[in-house]
Structure 1
């Protein structure tokens, strides 16, 4: 796959984050394979929640990268960042003692909450701008309509031919 066409490579911060996840996730998967190669149970048996979180986060991460070229906005970048981090943390949490693993997953929730707060603020600003623009457009159309109605009324009052 040619990564140069990816928007994230034109944005240095996102490119570095993507590069980190691009190398970290396969390394963690390799370590997980080594950890479980001599065991009868798979990580899905011993840590089902962590593995399903990993699978869901990986799908979100890949979808975010796919849609990044089309939407090019901070929401998609937030999805890429948070799902990439969740993918990594869910794998790391398997290697840690249960309590520490759950603590890591719990602390991870701070990232999407912070991103969501910023996103909500952006949506508010965008909606405010759109509503204001539509409001002034409507006022403009009503003024033009009122001018036409006034002209017709004046012509009718003066009994001028149309």
Structure 2
């Protein structure tokens, strides 16, 4: 929730810094600003998904909260890199990009493991059902011997 307050605060600081200049932050720091917009869109989208999933709890809530945390932090750091000198801002942005990449790798690995587990479960359940239905069909096809008394 801190990012809901931190990002608007830094946007206000950015507005104050650029109010007397004839250029915008998109002119002076285009990469930082576009990365900030992308991270903010991901943050807002995942936040909305999290609010929706609170009504219907799923197993993905841990993944969603990690994405919210990492994208909110990345958006904040990217915006802060515009407010500091260019060399320091570039260094901060590179370090956080590496950190977010590492988190994304772990997240993708976690998603892969969840999908693999779900796929194996689905295949196993389908196999068991198929086996049971096949046994029922073979029992029906067997002719019981008729004994004449």
Q: Structure 1 152/75 Cα, relative in aligned 2: closer, same or farther at 3 Å?
A: same
The match for 2:9 is 27
TM-score by length of 2: 0.78
The match for 1:13 is none
The answer to whether the 8 Å contact 2:74/2:100 transfers is no
The gaps in structure 1 that reach 5 residues or longer are 1-17
SS of the residue 1:41 aligns to: coil
Q: Which has the higher contact order (CA 8 A, sep 6+)?
A: 2
1:42-82 Cα shifts (integer Å, max 9, x gaps) = 11211122122222222222112111122361222122112
Alignment partner of 1:41 is 2:23: yes
Give the aligned CA root-mean-square deviation in angstroms.
2.3
CA distance in 1, matches of 2:41, 2:71: 8
The gaps in structure 2 that reach 5 residues or longer are 55-60
- Structural mapping, 1:101-116, within 5 Å: 101-116=89-104
Moved more, 141-150 or 78-87: 141-150
Q: Which runs of 4+ in 1 moved over 3 A?
A: 157-160
- Structural mapping, 1:76-115, within 5 Å: 76-115=64-103
TM-score by length of 1: 0.73
SS of the residue 2:142 aligns to: helix
Which residue of the other structure, out of 56, 61, 86, is the alignment partner of 2:43?
A: 61
